[in-house]
Homo-oligomer: A and B are copies of this chain.
Amino acid sequence: MRTAFYISDGTAITSEVFGHATLSMFPVEFNHQTIPFVETKKKAMEIKRLIDSTAESCGERPLVFFTFVNPELSEIILSSQGVCYDFLALASKVVKKELNVDPVPKIHRTHSIHEASYDFRIDAVNYALANDDGANIKDYEQADIILVGVSRSGKTPTSLYLALQYGIKAANYPMTEDDLEKGNFPSCLLPYKHKLFGLTINPERLSAIREGRMANSKYASLRQCRIEVREVEMLFKRHKTPYLNSTSHSVEEISAKIISETGLTRRKY
């Protein structure tokens, strides 16, 4: 199998995201290797040797997606037997021409603690944990958004993703059978109706997920799941609460849709 390397003087997350998006267009399997924090010439030489030995042992030149601030390190990687893409260099040339401003390369510019949004993100994670699953109904004043839905409809991973990636304070509240029977949101949520966003899910998928947690229970039965989903969707419609069906969406997609539909302010780019 051919190898793809993602290399950088920082986390190499940018190299990975770009390289992975590029390679995912091709029907070819790769052995992926990420090598972060290549910050010295010695380390870069070691990686060059690794690329070379990989090329020799596998008989095909590895693809190398890399980005460095220090051009001396780039030179070392470029001298390897890999097929090397210094993908940001080209984009920065075009942007430079357009902005008529020279780049000021600086290490750890992205994905570091020095980003202005960093403390917001950690605060938001702490908030999401403290306000997970209806655990703390007194702090909704602080919430940017409150996700509501039946148990296991995807609220918790979405709250955490919104917090970690975007610094958005997302609480989440599980609509129980009792809440649904009353046919209204519980009183703790009513003052914050404008912050509610619903998640729903296909009953079949919900039942399968609940089976994994409590096999053969009423809770996991398809009948119960159908009732709860129908009632929660009716509630969303009656209150004009925006909602989306999480069944075939990842947390990344659900989060992007929520931000796009609500216009929530992200604290990170």
Contacts and interface: CB of A to CB of B under 8 A. Distances in A.
Interface of A: 2, 10-14, 16-18, 20-28, 32, 34-37, 61, 63, 67, 83, 85, 87-88, 90-92, 94-96, 98-99, 101, 103-106, 108-113, 115, 118, 121-122, 125-126, 129, 132, 156-157, 160-161, 164, 248-253, 255-257, 259-260, 266, 269
Given A26-B103, A98-B83, A36 B256 contact: yes
A2 to B, nearest CB: 8
Contacts of A17: 13-14, 17-18
Contacts of A112: 249-250, 252-253
Nearest to A23: B95
Given A26-B92, A129-B132, 14 more contacts: A13-B17, A14-B17, A14-B18, A21-B67, A22-B88, A25-B109, A34-B260, A34-B266, A36-B257, A85-B94, A87-B91, A112-B253, A164-B164, A164-B251
27 contacts: A2-B99, A11-B255, A13-B17, A13-B252, A14-B18, A16-B269, A18-B87, A22-B95, A24-B109, A25-B88, A25-B104, A26-B103, A26-B104, A27-B101, A28-B101, A36-B257, A37-B256, A85-B91, A85-B94, A87-B91, A111-B250, A111-B253, A112-B250, A112-B252, A112-B253, A122-B157, A125-B160
A56 B98 CA distance: 17
A256 B61 CA distance: 25
A200 B7 CA distance: 27
A157 B256 CA distance: 21
B256 A12 contact: yes
For the complex formed by this chain, how many copies does it contain in all? 2
Contact of A95 (B63, B98, B115, B121): B63
B90 A90 contact: yes
A56 B91 CA distance: 24
Contacts of A156: 125-126, 129
